[in-house]
A and B are shown apart, each in its own frame.
Chain A
Amino acid sequence: MLEVSNIFKAYEGKSLLNDISFMVAEGETVCLLGASGSGKSTLLRIISGLESPDAGLISFNRLDLATTPPHLRDFGLVFQDYALFPHLSINDNVAFGLKMRRMAQEEINLRVGSLLELVNLKEFGERKILDLSGGEQQRVALARALAIRPRLLMFDEPLGALDRALRQDLLNELRSILHRTNIPAIYVTHDQEEAFTIADRVLILHAGRIIRDGIPSEVWANPESAIVAEFLGLGNLLDGEVIAQNQFQTEHGSFTVRCAHKHSKGDKVHLLARPLPDESICVERSRNVLRGVVSDVIFQQDRFKVILDNGIYVYLEDAPKVGQKISVSVKVECLA
Chain B
Amino acid sequence: MNQTINHGDIESAENIKKLRVLVSPWLTRILLWSLPLAFLLFAFFLPLSKILLLTFNTSALTSENLRITNYALRFTFYQAILSTFITLLLGLPSAYLFAHYDFRGKALLRALTAVPFMLPTVVVAAGFNALLGPRGLLHTFLPLSSFQFIGTLSAILIAHVFYNTTIIIRIVGSALSSLDPKLEHAARSLGADSLHVWLNVTLPLLRPSILASTLLVFLFDFTSFGVILLLGGPQFSTLEVEIYVQAVKQLNLPVAALLAVIQLICTLVFSILYTRIAARFTLQLAPRSTNKRRPKTIREKIFVTSLCLLLSAFFILPLASLPIRSLFRLEADRGQRGEVQYGFTTDYYTELFVNRRGSVFYVPPIQATINSLGYAGGTVVLSLLLGFPAAIALAKPTHLEKILDPLIMLPLGSSAVMLGLGFIISYGKWLTSPLLVPFAHTLVALPFVIRTLQPAIASIPQRLRQAASSLGASPFEVWKNVDLPIIRRATLAAATFAFTISLGEFGATLLISRPEYPTIPVAIERFLSQPGGLNYGQSMAMATILLLLATVSILVIEKFRLPDTGEF
A residues contacting B by CB (< 8 A) are: 45, 48-50, 69-77, 79, 81, 83-87, 96-97, 99-101, 141, 144-145, 147-148
Specify the chain B residue showing the minimal Cβ separation from A99.
B200
A97, B190: Cβ atoms closer than 8 Å: yes
A76, B180: Cβ atoms closer than 8 Å: no
User: Beyond A96-B200, A100-B196, is A83–B191 a contact (Cβ under 8 Å)?
Assistant: no
Which of B183, B188, B190, B205 contacts A50, CB < 8 Å? B188
Q: By the criterion of a CB under 8 Å from any partner CB, how many residues of chain B are at the interface?
A: 18
Residues from 446 to 501 in B contacting A, C-beta threshold 8 Å: none
CB-CB under 8 A from B183, the residues of chain A are 83, 85
Specify the chain B residue showing the minimal Cβ separation from A73.
B189
CB-CB under 8 A from B205, the residues of chain A are 85-87
User: Beyond A87-B204, A96-B200, is A71–B192 a contact (Cβ under 8 Å)?
Assistant: yes
User: Beyond A83-B183, A86-B205, A96-B200, is A77–B189 a contact (Cβ under 8 Å)?
Assistant: yes
A74, B191: Cβ atoms closer than 8 Å: yes
A71, B193: Cβ atoms closer than 8 Å: yes
B189, A145: Cβ atoms closer than 8 Å: yes
CB-CB under 8 A from A96, the residues of chain B are 187, 190, 192, 200
Residues from 179 to 199 in B contacting A, C-beta threshold 8 Å: 180, 182-183, 185-193, 196
Which of B191, B200, B284 contacts A148, CB < 8 Å? B191
Specify the chain B residue showing the minimal Cβ separation from A75.
B189
A-B pairs with beta carbons under 8 Å apart, 16 shown: A45-B185, A48-B188, A70-B188, A71-B190, A77-B186, A79-B186, A81-B182, A83-B185, A83-B186, A84-B186, A86-B205, A96-B187, A97-B191, A100-B190, A100-B192, A101-B191
Closest Cβ–Cβ distance, residue B201 to chain A (whole Å): 6
B191, A72: Cβ atoms closer than 8 Å: yes
Specify the chain A residue showing the minimal Cβ separation from B183.
A83
Closest Cβ–Cβ distance, residue B184 to chain A (whole Å): 9
CB-CB under 8 A from B189, the residues of chain A are 48, 50, 70-71, 73, 75-77, 145
> A104 to B39, alpha carbons, bound, how many Å?
65
CB-CB under 8 A from B201, the residues of chain A are 85
CB-CB under 8 A from B200, the residues of chain A are 96, 99-100
> A97 to B186, alpha carbons, bound, how many Å?
10
Which of B180, B185, B193 contacts A48, CB < 8 Å? B185
CB-CB under 8 A from A97, the residues of chain B are 190-192
Specify the chain A residue showing the minimal Cβ separation from B187.
A96
Which of A45, A50, A71, A84 contacts B191, CB < 8 Å? A71
B residues contacting A by CB (< 8 A) are: 180, 182-183, 185-193, 196, 200-201, 204-205, 284
> A101 to B193, alpha carbons, bound, how many Å?
11
Specify the chain A residue showing the minimal Cβ separation from B284.
A86
> A209 to B26, alpha carbons, bound, how many Å?
69
> A83 to B201, alpha carbons, bound, how many Å?
11
A79, B191: Cβ atoms closer than 8 Å: no
Specify the chain A residue showing the minimal Cβ separation from B197.
A71
CB-CB under 8 A from B196, the residues of chain A are 71, 100
Given contacts A50-B189, A96-B187, 20 further A-B contacts (CB under 8 A): A49-B188, A70-B185, A71-B190, A71-B193, A73-B189, A74-B191, A76-B190, A83-B180, A83-B186, A85-B183, A85-B186, A85-B205, A87-B204, A96-B190, A96-B200, A97-B192, A100-B190, A144-B190, A145-B190, A148-B191
Specify the chain A residue showing the minimal Cβ separation from B196.
A100
Which of B187, B193, B204 contacts A69, CB < 8 Å? B193
CB-CB under 8 A from A45, the residues of chain B are 185
CB-CB under 8 A from A86, the residues of chain B are 205, 284
> A49 to B191, alpha carbons, bound, how many Å?
12
B185, A50: Cβ atoms closer than 8 Å: yes
> A296 to B2, alpha carbons, bound, how many Å?
50
Max chain A Cβ within 10 angstroms of own Cβ: one of B182, B193, B204: B182
> A77 to B192, alpha carbons, bound, how many Å?
13
Specify the chain A residue showing the minimal Cβ separation from B186.
A83
B190, A148: Cβ atoms closer than 8 Å: yes
A79, B182: Cβ atoms closer than 8 Å: yes
> A79 to B185, alpha carbons, bound, how many Å?
10
> A72 to B182, alpha carbons, bound, how many Å?
17
Specify the chain B residue showing the minimal Cβ separation from A76.
B189
Specify the chain B residue showing the minimal Cβ separation from A92.
B200
Specify the chain A residue showing the minimal Cβ separation from B208.
A87
> A206 to B200, alpha carbons, bound, how many Å?
38
CB-CB under 8 A from B188, the residues of chain A are 48-50, 69-71
Closest Cβ–Cβ distance, residue B316 to chain A (whole Å): 32
CB-CB under 8 A from B186, the residues of chain A are 77, 79, 83-85, 141, 144
Which of A69, A77, A84, A85 contacts B185, CB < 8 Å? A77
> A101 to B284, alpha carbons, bound, how many Å?
28
Specify the chain B residue showing the minimal Cβ separation from A78.
B186
> A74 to B200, alpha carbons, bound, how many Å?
18
